[in-house]
Amino acid sequence: MGNFMSKYINMGNTGVNLDYYLLMEKKLDPQLFKHSTEVANCAAGLARVYGEDQDRAFQAGLLHDYGKRLNPSLLREEVQRLGIKLDKITLAEPQLLHAPVGAALVREELGVEDGQILRAIMYHTTGSPCLGLLEKIIYLADVVEEGRDYPGVEKLRELSYKDLHMALLTAVDNSIRRVMEKGRLLHPLSVFFRNELLLQVNEGKRR
């Protein structure tokens, strides 16, 4: 058993996610598996701080990039096969497409029926103005997990454990900036997500 799972078990949990852990180890390439386990660990840590269920956070983190195993043409094939209705921006951008396809596959292939876990997977790239706590935790854990290395990540990681909404706002701002710089399609949900977070942060300051 790798370090990542034992880290989690050491946190006082008993390995209820072991089946998914072993399955992901088999199905994901080593780099994606490492990222997924780090997101799972980070999500469990954030869940402990913000009062969310740590097991579900760990599981959602572990499964969040399940769709990333597939290349863009296979992702599009799965959209057809599963009959998923998606907007044209998501369809044109594999970076976005792996999230909803991943959620559908986690449900179909792994039998996960927990709506919040499925939504956390579905919205982990775009965000959404209506995210619940678990979904927010996965969005953030994806970009601050221990293996991430970009300017400002340490500061953002620290902030994540202190101020969830401020950290999310920074994370979505970074993401929008990167999409613009690369000249890629910007999903409107990310803009709605950003505005909602900014309203919440400003509301908190006024109190």
90 within 8 A of 124, measured Cβ to Cβ: no
Is the CB of 75 or the CB of 197 nearer to Fe ion?
75
Neighbours of 49 (CB within 10 A): 12
Kindly provide the b/e burial profile for residues 1-19, where b requires at least 16 CB atoms within 10 angstroms of the residue's own CB.
eeebbebbeeeeeeeebee
Is the CB of 65 or the CB of 93 nearer to Fe ion?
65
Distance CA 201, CA 34 (A): 32
Q: What is the smallest separation between the CB atom of 182 and Fe ion, expressed in angstroms?
A: 16
Q: What is the smallest separation between the CB atom of 100 and Fe ion, expressed in angstroms?
A: 11
Query: Which residues contribute to the site for Fe ion (CB under 5 A)?
Result: 65, 142
Q: What is the smallest separation between the CB atom of 149 and Fe ion, expressed in angstroms?
A: 14
Distance CA 90, CA 99 (A): 9
Integer angstrom CA distances of residue 51 from 15, 29, 98, 116 = 19, 32, 28, 15
Q: What is the smallest separation between the CB atom of 206 and Fe ion, expressed in angstroms?
A: 34
Q: What is the smallest separation between the CB atom of 174 and Fe ion, expressed in angstroms?
A: 14
Is the CB of 146 or the CB of 198 nearer to Fe ion?
146
Distance CA 182, CA 161 (A): 29
Is the CB of 78 or the CB of 142 nearer to Fe ion?
142
Is the CB of 36 or the CB of 54 nearer to Fe ion?
36
